[in-house]
Structure 1
Amino acid sequence: MEFVEPIRDRNKIAAMKKLLAGSPRDHLLFIIGINTAYRVSDLLSMRYSDVMDSNGKLFPHFKLRETKTKKNSKVSMSKGVQKALTDYIKDNYKGNPDDYLFQSRKRDKDGNSQPINRKSAWRIIQEAAEQLGEKNIGSHSLRKTFAYHAYQNGTDIVLLQDMLNHSSPSVTLRYIGITQDEKDRVVQALDL
């Protein structure tokens, strides 16, 4: 896999949302991805039962066991995520809570739904970004975009480090590209 960047420009985020709106599944993947610190593997493992109860009421939080770290994670659903989920469920839920949220057209041998794979998720995000003239954007950019904008919005780096399960704040800063951004600002501001 290539090194990917966060989507730093909020206008590009809005344009990506608009571009992906033609596919409700892909749009929801993008919305949840940029509003949580989840890896794409965790997003793709989500089932309807992970986001709503048996009466169709959304949970206030995502509660997942993260694939890579095996840690339990609880992430609040923002209003935008709740709206996107509500709209998606209304039009796509077929009554089986064990169905994957981000379904592929493929079924297993018993006819059960299968999620899209990581390569498909990467392609979805990468192709949409390319249409907007963005390079070095892929499915992992969703997680980085969340962290980048949370940091820019004043979230403490130690809290982000914990949310991303990183070993140190410096790893988190490097991960979201802040260190290079700050170095660039120093050079540009000095301009001797």
Structure 2
Amino acid sequence: LGKATLLRVSDVLSLEYADLFTPEGVLKDRAYITDQKTGKPNTLYLKPLESDLMLYHDWLVEQEIDSPWLFPSTTTPNQHITRKQYYKIMTKTGDLIGINYLGTHTMRKTGAYRVYEQTNYNIGFVMNLLNHSDQKATLAYLGLDTVTKEAMLDTINFG
């Protein structure tokens, strides 16, 4: 969810079940939220996540988890999981798949960079998805510093 929506962890954790699903359990086409950090409105297009979200929905139903939160605490279902618990989940996932750098921000950065590459380096599109106001901030966020920029320039034929 974090990788496909490019949400900050605080926004992922604060998603409510009703943001994504109807009371009947039908996945909505879009979720409309407000980014916590910036206060900006954000529209999440959910179709690329349909199968994963429906599997997750079915798991919630199977486990009889009744909570307003999309990611409820297992100990206190009327609260969402904490950032610390999310970090532990990401670290454990990384350990299981042999990646030692998964953290709370990994999904947002990975998703942003994948969009950047797969849209032929459309920085404006990535900037919009990240809900950034400044292209320079988006470039820095993607890690496109001088070394990366020079490495990319080395591959271009200016012939």
Instruction: With the length of structure 2 as denominator, give the TM-score of the two structures.
Output: 0.82
Runs of 5+ consecutive residues of structure 2 not aligned to the other structure? none
The separation in 1 between residues aligned to 2:148 and 2:94, in whole angstroms, is: 21
Letter of the 1:176 counterpart = L
User: In the TM superposition, what whole-angstrom CA distance separates every residue of 1:81-109 from its partner, at most 9, and x where no partner exists?
Assistant: 1111111111213485x5211111222xx
Q: Which residue of 2 aligns with 1:181?
A: 148
Q: Is the contact between residue 62 and residue 76 of structure 1 (CA under 8 Å) also seen in structure 2?
A: yes
The answer to whether the 8 Å contact 1:47/1:99 transfers is yes
Please state if 1:34 is matched with 2:3. yes
2:113 to 130, 148, 151: 148
State the identity as a percent. 28
Higher relative contact order (CA 8 A, sep 6+): 1
1:100 is matched with: 69
What SS does the aligned partner of 2:5 have? coil
Say whether 1:54 aligns with 2:57: no
Structure 2 equivalent of residue 115 of structure 1 = 80
TM-score of the superposition, structure 1-length normalised?
0.69
2:11–2:35 contact (8 Å) kept in structure 1:
yes
| Pair 150,66 (structure 1): closer, same or farther in 2 beyond 3 Å | same
Unaligned stretches of 5+ in structure 1?
A: 1-31
Specify which of 50, 54, 71 is matched with residue 40 of structure 2. Answer: 71
**Is 2:99 the counterpart of 1:134?**
yes
